[in-house]
Structures are given as C-alpha cells and as structure tokens.
Amino acid sequence: MDVSTTTPNGTSAQRVRTLSYAQAAALALQEAMQTHPHIVALGEDLGRGGVFGQYRSADGRCLAELFGSQRIIDTPISEATIMGAGVGMALAGLHPVVEMRVADFALCAIDELVNQAAKNRFMFGGQGRVPLIARLPIGIWTASAAQHSQSFEAWFAHIPGLVVVAPATPQDNYGLLKASLASGDPVVYMEHKELWGLQGEVDTQATAELGKCRVAFDEGEGRDLTVVSWSRQVHVCVDAARELAASGVRTRVLDLRTIWPWDREAVLAAASASGRLLVVHEAVQAAGFGAEVAATVAEHTGARVARLGAPRIPVGYAPTLEAESRINAAQVVQAARRLLAH
C-alpha cells in the first residue's frame, strides 16, 4: 500500500510505502544524510550498495551515487581500522555510520568499540561524545557456519555507554535507525542477516523511541502468557502465539526492539498481568540477555518465568547441524505449554 501526503511546499510525497527491511534502513539513512551533512558512512563494499543491499535506495541506486565517495566511503578490509576511523570522525564532529558487514567480524574491532567509543564521554568528563552507529548484523545466516552466524547482543548490553538496538521489521529498521542517528550516543545497531528481504509497510511519519517495546501480537489481552523476544525470533514467537491461540491460550508477544535500554516497565506490567513470562531469543541461552529479563521479572513480580535460547554449541554448516541451533515455533509452543502447566 502506498499512501501520499502533502509536504509544506505543496508537493506530494509517499508517506506509507512497501519496502524491504534493507530498503527501509537505506531510506532512513538517505533521508538523514540529506538533512544532516555531517553524517557519513564507511565500510567494505558500500560503493556497490552493501553486501545485503542496505546502502541501495528503493529505486535501485547506490547511496554512493547520491552522496559521493566522500560521504559513502569504501574502506580496506580491516575492521579495527574502520571502527577506529569512525571513532575519530565522531570525536572530530562527524556522525559516522560504521558498517561491519556481520557482527562476527566486529570482534576484530572490539577495542575501538568497547574501550574507546563506549567510554570516551565518561573518561573525559563529557568533553567529547561519540555519536557513532555501528551496524553489526546478527543471527544465523543459512549455510554460513559458526563464524558467520552469531548473536552478540548480550555482550554489548553488558558495556556501559553503549546503546543496543535490534529491529525486527522494516518499519522499525526505518524508525529505529533514525532514532539511533538522533541519539548522540554510540549505538550498536544489530540487524538480522536473514531479514534483509522481509517486506512490510513503512510509515515515514511514524517515529520510534529507543527503550520502548512494541506489542507484536496480542490475543485476549495476553491474560495467560507473556512472551518477550527481539529481532528475527519475534516472527517465530508470533507464529507460536497464533498456534497457541487456536487452542485457547491468550498470549501477548512483546518485541523489545532495543536491548539497552530495554522497556522494563512494559515487560513487568505484562508479566504481572499474565502471571507467566517466557523469554525467547536466537542467541545461545547461557548468559543470554533473556536471563536479564527473566531475573528482573522474578525479582519484581510473582510471575513464573522461563527462558528459551539456542544450545551452547557452534552453529553447524550442515543443515541438520544448523537446525540444532535454531529455535522454531514448535519449540516455543512446547516451552509455553510447560510453563502453563504449572
């Protein structure tokens, strides 16, 4: 669906458009760069639109064609150099979007992100800020094995000074990227590697707020069960909630959207109302961010809590091995029923 609106100068512009997850992010960046000349992007393959097309506009043009090589910057294959340059640019007054291609590769730039970007504002008394967006695509990438299929959101949530974002829909990939660019803080922006082609409606006048979740599914006001998730796993949880609804289980699925800050108030209220909370994520369950959510709910409510995440194994290359690391809707339903049985 395309819906038009009239701009202040009397021209017509599309307000609601059907875009892919990748196109939505590209549109958000394009609009921000048109408005703010200090925003630049740097990373590998940006000149050809990015590995996943996330630097290519909806009409197929690379953002490098629109803004030139001084603002859409192709870099050498050195993640530490890319992130280090981004931190320096931010301290010098620019607003860099640093592309790491996949989160797994960002481990080569961990010092620049964790020890420099995250801590500069605090270590120097607020004299400098690092308004940097680090795009670190997370999650299992089909047939890409253990070094290209990891989810590190809990790692970065643990670091004071970093904002951590994990959009699940094209709308949120548009709105949350804009909100991240406006935040003025270093943001670890974690898009999912297998959501790039997901299509959805994007309202360019709708805003998103960091630290606020959204209701992804609600059956009967979620009186029986609250499910909390984020990123690609939200869609799996919604499928499971629909199956549960067919048997009379009233479930509310909350999409955190931002891992830090996370919407404690909304989660606590929903869990208190239903009396049961299931946290589901694609990341390894051991020490995953689901533990933080579950512990907080256990500390502040009387709700029963449970977690569901991947086993603590490397993601396999063979389809049968890879499947062992995936959390599917059937597993979510089983975990929900176990929780409901008590």
- The domain limits of the chain are 16-203, 214-340
- Smallest Cα–Cα separation from 217: which of 237, 196, 191? 237
Note the pLDDT of residue 14: 78
Strand partners, 214: 255
16-203 maps to which CATH number?
A: 3.40.50.970
- Smallest Cα–Cα separation from 279: which of 263, 256, 260, 257? 256
Residues constituting the chain: 342
Calculate ∠ Cα 235-322-189, nearest 5°.
50
Count of beta carbons in the 10 Å neighbourhood of residue 192: 26
Catalytic residue among 36, 38, 148, 342: 148
Taking each helix axis from N to C end, the angle separating 21-35 and 170-183, rounded to the nearest 10 degrees, works out to: 30
Cα-Cα-Cα-Cα dihedral sign, residues 316, 318, 319, 320: negative
Inter-residue contact 167 to 191 (CB < 8 Å): yes
CATH 3.40.50.920 fits 214-340, yes or no: yes
Tokens of residue 186, six digits = 């270093």
**R_g of the chain computed on alpha carbons:** 20
- Smallest Cα–Cα separation from 94: which of 77, 66, 73, 79? 73
Calculate ∠ Cα 320-254-204, nearest 5°.
100
Burial pattern 169-187, b for ≥16 Cβ within 10 A else e, equals bbbbbbbbbbbbbeeebbb
- Smallest Cα–Cα separation from 129: which of 161, 99, 155? 161
Count of beta carbons in the 10 Å neighbourhood of residue 253: 29
Tokens of residue 124, six digits = 């120097």
The contacts of residue 299 (CB under 8 Å, 6+ apart) are none
Three-state secondary structure call for residue 9? coil
Strand partners, 229: 255
Note the pLDDT of residue 9: 45
Establish whether 148 is a catalytic residue. yes
Q: What is the mean pLDDT of each run of 10 residues along the chain (342 residues)?
A: 50 79 97 97 95 92 96 96 97 97 95 96 92 97 94 97 98 98 96 97 96 96 95 98 96 98 98 98 98 98 98 96 97 97 85
Note the pLDDT of residue 4: 55
User: How are strands ordered across the β-sheet holding 12-20?
Assistant: 3-6, 12-20, 199-203
Q: How many CA atoms lie within 13 A of 125 on its CB side?
A: 0
* Cα distance between residue 222 and residue 67, in whole Å: 47
Q: pTM (2 decimals)?
A: 0.94
Fold match between domain 16-203 and domain 214-340: yes
Categorise residue 125: left if φ over 0, alpha if ψ from -120 to 50, beta otherwise.
left
* Cα distance between residue 163 and residue 139, in whole Å: 18
* Cα distance between residue 220 and residue 228, in whole Å: 17
Cα-Cα-Cα-Cα dihedral sign, residues 78, 80, 83, 88: negative
